[in-house]
Structure 1
Amino acid sequence: MKIRPILGLTLASFVLAAGANAQKMPVVQQPTFKKDTFNIVRYGAVADGITLNTKSINDAITACNKKGGGVVLVPEGLWITGPVEMKSNVNLHVKNGAILQFTNDLSQYKIVEGNWEGQPNARNQSPISGKNLQNIAITGKGIVDGWGDAWRMVKKDKLTGSQWKQLTESGGITSDDGKTWYPSQSSMNGSKTKDAGVLANGKTIKDFEDIKDYLRPNLLVLESCRKVLLEGVTFQNSPAWCLHPLMCEDLTVRDVYAKNPWYAQNGDGIDVESCNRVLLENSTFDVGDDGICVKSGRNESGRKRGMPTQNMIVRNCIVYHAHGGFVIGSEMSGGAKNIYVNNCSFIGTDIGLRFKTTRGRGGIVENINVSNISMKDIMGEAILFDMYYEAKDPVPLAGEVRNAPAVELFPVTEATPQFKDFNIRNVVCNGASKAIFVRGLPEMHIQNILLKDISIVAKKGIQIEEATNIKMQNVHLSIAATDALVSIQNSKEISFDKLSNVKPTEVVFSVTGSGCGDIQYANSTLPYNKQFAAFNAGATEKSLIKK
């Protein structure tokens, strides 16, 4: 079986969207394989849904590698297995009709030194893993299932009454407050352990054996690999993140389906972390956390690694349930740059375009270009930039109260994150809680953001805090809010050209704070009921200018 050898990525469509900022991207190289086929049945694998085939599958992979590479075939059938370890020059081909089912016997997964949310961490071995490999692939139309239900804790508020009853009667442990179910005592003990799994201050993997079940693995982790292809396969039911390429180069993800229950804790679709030269296309995500996510390490360890995710194209993808459709952060301490997202659809996600970070991360996210995005039924914000990220679901659960963070000025250090130079065009969203939300830090504004040719139907309009040089051109809204259409706080060089709203709001502009200035609007249709502009907390009429 031979995979297409080289994929040259031209950026004609992105040049039009991103203007002069677009640069020609490097070529993403793809793997090639010998035609030799190694059927796992020849190595003793049995598709009876009972036999543990760990040794047989790994023996086939080892034999393929030793003979110069080729295809390891997983034929039709239900194949139970423990952890599978990839090797160079191997294409693990999961045929249509095949289910590669990872066992729910957690003792089969040893604790290893891994990485979790951007930091060195003790984790259970991933169902599929590989490190320092070249020329590898997982292909086919089959299914890879991580049996995540055996690992995951579940929040009561995310299930119906009958689902919760069925879950608690199946075994496991319920938390003292009755709000969370854990599959084992070891798992619940881990939830009460500070810095569970963190390999710091002399801690080793042996120090976490008593909370082993809590250290859920990602379904697939490929670390420091080159020329990687994931194509055609359904990856589902992951214990934690589904797909986690880490510090890889020349990564192609094509026609995959990442699928998790919507209540899956940390059930991300794909987290591309500190990777260079990436193509993600024609794929579908329906998961319990962020859908398509870009990361680059967390806090000091991420800054020390110093490897941004860069030179990445995402195109022709669909995201259904997820905390965010396309996401950068919050672990982005190594930075992210030269990323192009085009022609994607987000349907029913909590947030559409989600860019998140917090103090302590550091890192620079820049030259991010997004175009031709269609969204429907977004639970929260259609477009969000937030530098006050908290590790909470983006949409509060029923009865949950969240207060806005206190605005304080901190010194700028290497731990201060930056968001700048975003170009977002041609976005349509029918249904959102809020259209656009931009919230920077007093000491580090979000800056140089262009939003052009945007159409959004939402309950609330635009909110901008602690930002500089935000340009909105040809933004059409249908907002039903009774408060302000546009709220601006301590921000400057904010411009609106051809801003319109279908319905009148109580106030068009609410301008707050003495830090506001050079807010301009022109060529706009802005109906209102009571007043055009309100100025508060030191803001003056001079800060708002009609051009």
Structure 2
Amino acid sequence: MKRSILLLSIVFMCFSKEVFSQSYSWNKLPQIQKTSFKTDTFNILKYGAKADGITLNTKSINDAITACSNKGGGVVLVPGGMWITGPVEMKSNVNLHINRDAVLQFTDDFKQYKLVEGNWEGRPAVRNQSPISGTNLTNIAITGTGIIDGNGDAWRMVKKDKLTETQWKNKVASGGLLSDDKKTWYPSEQSLKGSKIENAGVLLPGKTAADYADIKDFLRPNLLVLTNCKRVLLEGVTFQNSPAWCLHPLLCEDLTVRNVYAKNPWYAQNGDGIDVESCKNVLLEGSTFDVGDDGICIKSGRDADGRKRGKPTENMIVKNCIVYHAHGGFVIGSEMSGGARNLFVSNCSFIGTDVGLRFKTNRGRGGIVEKIFVKDIAMKDIGGEAILFDMYYMAKDPVPLAGENREAPKVVLLPVTEETPIFRDFHISNIVCNGASKAVFIRGLPEMKISDIYMDNMVLTAKKGIDLQEAKNINFKNVRVIVADTNPVVNIQNSSLISLDNLQYNSNADLLFNVNGQSSGIKVTNTDASKAKTKTAFSAGADSKALVMK
């Protein structure tokens, strides 16, 4: 695998130096303010903590954090050992430091986690208190090279199709309950009950946390939630086995995440790596993600709640990260109703993710996602699309399970309203993908086409090529697609102002361009169409004048 990554990296050096039509934007990266702490150290041992794997150390750890903050801040030290604890609450000016030989193990006793009013998937919601949380804090950190374990296996439901036969039998034998169709295991009756309630946990008018007690177990917490905090550092720690999302900074400013490892089982439902939601001035670098859902995900609230909040995720740098198993390597959406802008992603590797670059939304979200810059990305063994833009997100795994059939969405034209999402102004360059189901898939809405996408200097090896639907002003330059299915290499449907400059493809391809529907303004330059058995095909009302080769 190391050799494959090295070869992909060498290809980058062969690319043209001209990578972005707006490359100057990379010179205007955000400045992130750093944390700073006193050297005073507060060892949790001095507050009565015991590393015997039995004692519940919740009070001792929180007492150390409170004492540290009250005395002006410093380092709260978790030394080597196995430390069992309930919820830990961060406070301002505290650096919670986890030693290399330490495991901060959160208890599987659900009674230790009280129901609180918080946020889930972009909406106000009731959840169990997160294992680690902090609200309205300034200058906080979690550092070290030890392990923080959320005991997520005790919380999560699991689908039978995602386990081996032996794993499934062991899970059923451990207790819990099965869904009516016997295809999903739930850890408790409360968990099963909650699964049958639409939008379970969403905080309704006039309700309080106490009103959700009968489905408490279903309301799984995120491992780490930091809300409205400023100057935050997460560095070096392994965050693993989260009940739901692993890392969730919400409405934070000046956030640095460096050299962390987010690790969840591949079957972990909602087991995202990091979800940066409505945050400003963010640096994520040198980190590794191997999780059950999206790896690096950008969010900003859902539907009317997100639009009312009106806080985009903006001014963010992502660099030198690796994503192994995940539904997407770098992801925006689908809860992006507050928008996202000025995001810079570079020098990352996606190995075995379902999708590489994944940009998803649907009607009802609203929000504008724009000024997104991505370059120098190496991908290998991508299960679905290497690059995906989709405005018909269905809240399902991006790669269907064996035997699962999915119908294409019905395409209808609707009026443009505040609920109509917008994807525009993306710049993607220097991409190598060695193996995917499809190279590029762009699917917009009839009333709001995905627009102003610039892709150049790419080598994409996949089963299928480029598929554009309901798109406008899409530009490819110096792109090579090597595909198994060459009928067609490029499909264009109901799209306009498409530019392909120096497109390279398989020799003897069956069909180079398939154009259908209301498509127009397709310009092909510096491309040898003679290598294809058939250059163009037009159907479903498409005019042969829609495509011009020069």
Question: What's the TM-score bracket when you normalise by the shorter of the two chains?
Answer: over 0.9
The equivalent residue for 1:523 is 526
Within the candidate set 118, 129, 133, 1:129 is matched to 133
Is it true that 1:166 corresponds to 2:170 in the alignment? Answer: yes
Unpaired runs of 5+ residues, structure 2, are 1-16
Segment drifting more, 169-178 vs 246-255:
169-178
Q: Which SS does the other structure have where 2:510 is aligned?
A: strand
Q: For the Cα contact (< 8 Å) 1:508–1:527, is it kept in 2?
A: no
Residue number in structure 1 paired with 2:405: 401
The structure 1 residue matched to 2:541, chosen from 538, 541, 545, is: 538
| Residues 109-120 of structure 1 aligned to structure 2 (within 5 Å) | 109-120=113-124
**In structure 2, C-alpha distance between the alignment counterparts of 1:66 and 1:149, rounded to whole Å:** 35
Task: Tell me how far 1:532 sits from its aligned partner.
Answer: 1.4
Is the Cα contact below 8 Å between 1:504 and 1:526 reproduced in 2? no
CA-to-aligned-CA distance 1:377-416 (integer Å, 9 cap, x gap): 0000000000000110000000000011011001101110
The CA deviation at 1:508 is 1.0
Task: Quote the offset at 1:278 in angstroms.
Answer: 0.2
Query: Which 5+ residue runs of structure 1 have no aligned equivalent?
Result: 1-12
Find the aligned partners of 2:135 and 2:280 in 1 and give their Cα distance.
16
- Spell out the pairing of 1:3-42 with structure 2 (5 A cutoff): 18-22=22-26, 24-42=28-46
CA distance in 2, matches of 1:22, 1:60: 42
Return the offset for 1:20: 3.9
Residue 415 (structure 1) aligns with: 419
Which aligned pairs between 1:373-452 and structure 2 lie closer than 5 A? 373-452=377-456
- Aligned letter for 2:209? I
The structure 1 segments of at least 4 consecutive aligned residues displaced by more than 6 Å after TM superposition are 13-17
State the distance in 2 between where 1:499 and 1:527 align.
Answer: 12
The farther-off stretch of 478-487 and 248-257 is: 478-487
Distance 1:378 1:315 in 2: 20
Residue of structure 2 equivalent to 1:228: 232
Structure 2 Cα separation of the partners of residues 264 and 121 of structure 1 = 21
SS of 2:350's equivalent in the other structure is: strand
2:106 equivalent to 1:102: yes
Equivalent-residue separation in structure 2 for 1:484 and 1:164 (angstroms) = 41
Contact 1:506 1:528 in 2 (8 A): no
Contact 1:14 1:22 in 2 (8 A): no
2:275 corresponds to which residue? Answer: 271
Instruction: Specify whether residues 536 and 15 from structure 1 end up closer, same or farther in structure 2 by C-alpha distance, changes over 3 A only.
Output: closer
| TM-align CA RMSD | 1.3
For 1:439 and 1:60, how far apart are their aligned partners in 2? Answer: 52
Distance in 2 (CA, whole Å) between partners of 1:62 and 1:356 is 41
Q: What residue in structure 2 maps to residue 195 of structure 1?
A: 199
CA contact (8 A) 2:19 2:457 kept: no
Aligned to 1:332: 336
Percent same amino acid at aligned positions? 68
- Determine helix, strand or coil for the equivalent of 2:257: strand
Q: Could you tell me whether the CA contact under 8 Å between 2:356 and 2:386 is conserved in 1?
A: yes
TM-superposed CA distance for 1:434, in Å, is 0.2
Match of 1:47 in 2: 51
Question: Structure 1's 202 and 63: CA in aligned 2 closer, same or farther, altered over 3 A?
Answer: same
User: Aligned partners of 2:472 and 2:109: how far apart in 1?
Assistant: 53
- 1:195 deviation in Å? 1.8
Task: Determine if contact 2:78/2:98 at 8 Å carries over to the other structure.
Answer: yes
Per-residue deviation, 1:275: 0.3
Give 1:537 shift.
1.1
Flag the 1:385–1:456 CA change in 2: closer, same or farther, 3 A. Answer: same
1:16/1:438 CA distance change after superposition, 3 Å: closer
How much has 1:205 moved relative to structure 2? 1.4
* 1:305 partnered with 2:301: no
Asked if 1:93 is matched to 2:97, the reply is yes
- What number of residue pairs does the alignment pair up? 534
Looking at structure 2, the residues matched to 535 and 128 of structure 1 have their Cα atoms a distance apart, in angstroms, of 57
Residue 69 of structure 2 corresponds to 65
Q: Is the 8 A contact 2:19 2:429 kept in 1?
A: no
Task: Verify the 8 A CA contact 2:30 2:316 in the aligned structure 1.
Answer: no
C-alpha distance in 2 between matches for 1:373 and 1:526: 28
Q: Is the 8 A contact 1:435 1:458 kept in 2?
A: yes
Report the residue type matching 2:178 in the other structure: T
Q: CA deviation at 1:193?
A: 1.0
Tell me which residue corresponds to 1:8: none
Change over 3 Å in CA distance of 1:539–1:15 after alignment to 2: closer
2:367 aligned with 1:363: yes
Q: What TM-score do the two structures reach when normalised by structure 2? A: 0.96
Q: Show CA shifts across 1:319-369 (max 9, x none).
A: 000000000000000000000000000000000000000000000000000
Partner Cα separation in structure 2 for residue 251 and residue 14 of structure 1: 31
The corresponding residue for 2:244 is 240
Shift of 1:438: 0.3
